[in-house]
Structures are given as structure tokens and as C-alpha cells.
């Protein structure tokens, strides 16, 4: 693509729902009074009879979805991540995962990019919460196209799945023709000097840094982890052995996040240099990405400096 197009991953969720709805009559969508923000309203406009507005009652929202799933439907549940993964966490655990209910959960406005919604609504804990629930699959797609593809993969997967989406428009760096698989990392760039393992929208910024490093003569591999659980440990270990240096990137708290999963996968497997970029145990706050990413160490310059530090 010669000129990059910028769209939010939450918009990809709405588009993916509409595309999926045309194929499967057993698919329903439940929303917690935030359909315009999460993107699910696109489905309501096309299939109003299969769209359930549950209001600001996220625990009931998830509980209803569990009952629908156990009755043979395939419910997609969406709200802000702080509510689907946070407020309803116990219901997700006991009504969904414990019962092996085929519920698809989506947490929008994750990370520190919800702008004016403020620190209370910026969810930097959802990966840790959902990752800790047995049998829960955790997805974190990097762009608009990948969300559309993963919505279909979520439907096909026979069990509970959680996917995070973002408010922030980011460059579309993947294609609808990509062959992606839940539990398998996507190799966006091959390289031998350093491997960057990134998840979510941070991958779009990591790609910009990799391209900059390539111009400087470095060979940098970029792995896009759209699936955090189950983690593709094999690909990570292969590139860690190949490059000897690993940098992980995520828009999530360092505690319980993607970096911890990667470190656990590599520990005792070889002599690697390892570094990570994440939110270091701070709440978010109101502000634009241009303001907040440098504050939390998620900006391109910080990624570049961490990569250069490893390359030395």
C-alpha cells in the first residue's frame, strides 16, 4: 500500500461483526450502552433483531451472554475493557470460562489511548486479568484489518475468547489476505540482529522503528503477537536463538502483561539479552497519544533507544 490508511481497531470490530453476521444466523451481539464507541452499532444497523442493548450493567451483560451461549448461540459481548474485563471479571470467570461457555468478549478503549475518557477508563490491566483465567484465549490485534479477520477466527474457535481493541486510529499494516491463526505469531519482518516481539497497536509503531533501523544497516525481525494466550513460544524462541536479543512492546502494565509471558517462555532456554517496553505500574490520565506515549515510554523514540541499546 503506497499511502497508509489510518483507522481504529474498534472500527474493524464493527466491520467484522457485520461481515460475520451475514454468514451465521446463530451469532448475536450484546452491548453495554457503548455501541457507538466500541463499533458494535454497525451490527445493530444491519441486524437489529440480533442486537441486544443491555445498558450500563456489565455483569448482567456477560451473564446473559453465558446463558445464550449455553443455549446454542454465539454471543459477542462488547464494552470498554475496564468494564468487560474489569467490572465483570468474576462473571467472566464463573459464568463463562468455568462453564466453558462459547462467549466472545471484546474490551475496547484499552491502554492509555482513550484520550478524554481519563485514567479511570484507560485499562492497562485487562491482559493480566484475562490471561489468568483458565482456558481463556487472549487476542490483541494490531490494526483494522486484523480485527476483521480475528472476529471470524473468534467465531470459529470453540470456547471463550477475549479481544482488546483501541480507540486510536493507527496505520493499517496488514492485509485481509493474510493467513493468520489464533496462537501463532505473525512474522512481519525477518532479521538476525534483534527480534522485536510486539502486540496490539504498538506493532504499527514498532514497524516504523524497524524501518528506521534498517536504513541504518541493522537487521531487525518483527513478530506481531495478535495472540497473547496461548503464546507462540516456539517462534519466539526460534528468533531469540537466531538474534540473541529480544525486545517486547505492549500498551499494558508491565505486571502480568505480554513481557512476563515472553520472559517465562525464554527463561532457562538460552543466553539472551532481554528488554521490555510497557506501562510501568502507573494509571493513565487524560491526554492525546502525542502527549501520553512519551510520558509512559511508548513513543517511537523510546522504542528506538531501547532497540539501539540492545544492538550495542
Point out which residues pair with 27 in neighbouring strands: 74
Gap between the Cα atoms of 7 and 234, Å rounded? 31
Nine cell digits for residue 47:
441486524
Give every CB contact of residue 254 below 8 A, 6+ residues apart in sequence.
Answer: 260, 276, 278, 279, 280, 281
Neighbours of 189 (CB within 10 A): 18
Q: Is 3 a catalytic residue?
A: no
Other beta carbons less than 10 A from residue 312's beta carbon: 7
Q: What is the bridge-based pairing of β-strands 169-171 and 6-8? A: antiparallel
Catalytic residue among 46, 49, 58, 282: 58
What single DSSP character describes residue 230?
S
Distance CA 121, CA 306 (A): 28
Which residues are catalytic, by number?
Answer: 58
Amino acid at each position: 500500500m503506497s499511502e497508509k490508511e489510518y483507522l481504529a481497531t474498534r472500527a474493524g470490530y464493527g466491520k467484522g461483526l457485520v461481515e460475520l453476521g451475514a454468514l451465521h444466523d446463530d451469532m448475536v451481539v450484546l452491548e453495554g450502552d457503548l455501541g457507538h464507541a466500541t463499533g458494535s452499532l454497525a451490527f445493530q444497523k444491519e441486524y437489529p433483531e440480533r442486537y441486544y442493548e443491555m445498558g450500563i450493567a456489565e455483569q448482567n451483560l456477560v451473564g446473559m451472554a453465558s446463558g445464550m451461549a449455553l443455549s446454542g448461540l454465539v454471543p459477542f459481548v462488547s464494552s470498554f475493557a475496564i468494564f468487560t474485563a474489569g467490572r465483570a471479571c468474576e462473571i467472566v470467570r464463573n459464568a463463562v470460562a468455568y462453564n466453558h461457555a462459547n462467549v466472545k468478549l471484546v474490551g475496547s478503549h484499552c491502554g492509555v489511548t482513550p484520550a478524554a475518557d481519563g485514567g479511570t477508563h484507560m485499562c492497562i490491566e485487562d491482559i493480566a486479568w484475562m490471561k489468568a483465567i483458565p482456558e481463556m484465549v487472549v487476542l490483541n490485534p494490531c490494526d483494522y484489518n486484523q480485527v476483521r479477520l480475528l472476529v471470524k477466527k473468534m467465531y470459529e474457535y470453540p470456547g471463550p475468547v477475549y479481544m482488546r481493541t483501541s480507540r486510536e486510529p493507527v496505520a493499517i499494516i496488514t492485509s485481509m489476505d493474510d493467513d493468520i491463526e489464533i496462537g501463532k505469531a505473525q512474522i512481519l519482518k525477518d532479521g538476525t540482529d534483534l527480534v522485536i516481539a510486539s502486540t496490539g497497536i504498538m506493532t504499527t509503531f514498532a514497524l516504523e522503528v524497524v524501518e528506521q533501523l534498517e536504513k541504518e544497516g541493522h537487521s531487525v525481525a518483527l513478530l506481531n503477537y495478535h495472540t497473547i494466550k496461548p503464546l507462540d513460544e516456539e517462534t519466539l524462541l526460534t528468533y531469540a536463538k537466531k538474534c540473541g536479543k529480544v525486545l517486547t512492546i505492549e500498551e499494558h502494565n508491565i505486571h502480568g502483561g505480554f513481557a512476563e509471558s515472553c520472559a517465562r517462555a525464554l527463561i532457562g532456554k538460552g543466553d539472551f539479552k532481554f528488554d521490555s517496553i510497557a506501562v510501568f505500574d502507573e494509571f493513565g490520565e487524560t491526554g492525546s497519544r502525542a502527549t501520553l506515549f512519551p510520558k509512559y515510554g511508548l513513543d517511537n523514540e523510546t522504542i528506538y533507544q531501547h532497540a539501539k541499546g540492545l544492538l550495542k
